[in-house]
């Protein structure tokens, strides 16, 4: 017999995987509601705001998750760690494909919700988002992954180490180098981006 689960509470992600592998479709729904938004947001940042490609990455990540559910070994890794790792690899594949095709890695900055900032503020925010995405796109792949996972997704260094399959010290080194590179890329644009009075590059 299956039962509905609260997407925000109830069994752990790993327990839901086991339940799904045993035929519990409600467990799959709860896990999808928990994991998909996080993977989608991460992929969108890694792919410079390309929503369509990010949705493709999120969908493929979840399909792979379901396919491997029967072989899931509880306690070996977290579902979210596994999902971030798969999404990272899918994003890298798409970024490499873009480069081969000679396309820009950046598209339009994400739209901001109406009702708050003025048109000038929205334009400034769009410039800042685009500048950050452009700077991220210039980083080596591993530095970009570490910076996005740490400072945008908010993962801890041990979690990032598990996602990237490297040591914690390597994560710290990649993150530090990535932050320095971002600061260098953005330093010449501070005035144009409206950061004249800021004390740091962000």
Give the C-alpha separation, 47 to 70, whole Å: 30
Confidence of residue 40 (pLDDT cuts 50, 70, 90): very high
Helix (H) or strand (E) holding 50: none
Residue 14 has pLDDT above 60, yes or no: yes
| Average pLDDT over every residue of 184-192 | 70
pLDDT of 182 reads 85
Q: How confident is the model at residue 39 (pLDDT cuts 50, 70, 90)?
A: very high
For the chain, the distance separating the N- and C-terminal CA atoms, rounded to the nearest angstrom, is 52
Residue with tokens 């410079």: 48
Q: Which residues of 94-131 are buried (b: 16+ CB within 10 A; e: fewer)?
A: bbeebeeeeeebbbebbeeeeeeeeeeebebbeebbbb
Model confidence at 57: pLDDT above 90:
yes
Q: Please give the pLDDT value at position 167.
A: 93
Does residue 91 have a pLDDT over 80? yes
In terms of C-beta density within 10 A (0-12 exposed, 13-18 middle, 19 or more buried), how is residue 60 classed?
Answer: middle
User: For the chain, give me the number of helices (H) and strands (E)?
Assistant: 8, 0
Query: Residue 49 and residue 34: Cα distance in Å, rounded?
Result: 21
Q: pLDDT digits over 132-160, tens only?
A: 777 777 888 888 889 888 888 888 999 99
Flag whether pLDDT at 197 surpasses 70. no
Cβ atoms of 194 and 128 within 8 Å: the answer is yes
Measuring CA to CA, which residue among 10, 51, 55, 46 is closest to residue 31?
Answer: 10
In this prediction, residue 120 carries a pLDDT of: 55
**What does the pLDDT read at residue 48?**
74
Residue pLDDT, tens place only, 72-82? 887 778 899 99
Closest CA to 109 of 78, 93, 130, 88: 130
């Amino acid at each position: 017999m299956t039962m509905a689960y609260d997407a925000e509470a109830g069994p752990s992600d790993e327990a839901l995987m086991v339940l799904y592998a045993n035929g519990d479709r409600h467990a799959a729904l709860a896990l999808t509601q928990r994991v998909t938004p996080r993977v989608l947001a991460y992929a969108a940042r890694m792919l410079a705001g390309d929503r369509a490609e990010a949705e493709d990455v999120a969908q493929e990540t979840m399909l792979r998750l379901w396919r491997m559910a029967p072989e899931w070994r509880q306690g070996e890794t977290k579902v979210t760690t596994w999902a971030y790792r798969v999404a990272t690899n899918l994003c890298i594949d798409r970024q490499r494909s873009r480069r081969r095709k000679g396309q820009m890695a950046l598209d339009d900055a994400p739209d901001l919700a109406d009702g708050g900032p003025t048109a000038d503020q929205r334009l400034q925010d769009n410039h800042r988002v685009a500048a950050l995405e452009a700077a991220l796109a210039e980083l080596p792949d591993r530095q970009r992954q570490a910076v996005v996972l740490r400072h945008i997704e908010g993962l801890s260094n041990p979690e990032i180490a598990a996602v990237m399959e490297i040591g914690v010290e390597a994560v710290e080194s990649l993150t530090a180098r990535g932050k320095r590179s971002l600061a260098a890329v953005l330093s010449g644009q501070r005035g144009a981006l409206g950061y004249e009075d800021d004390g740091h590059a962000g």
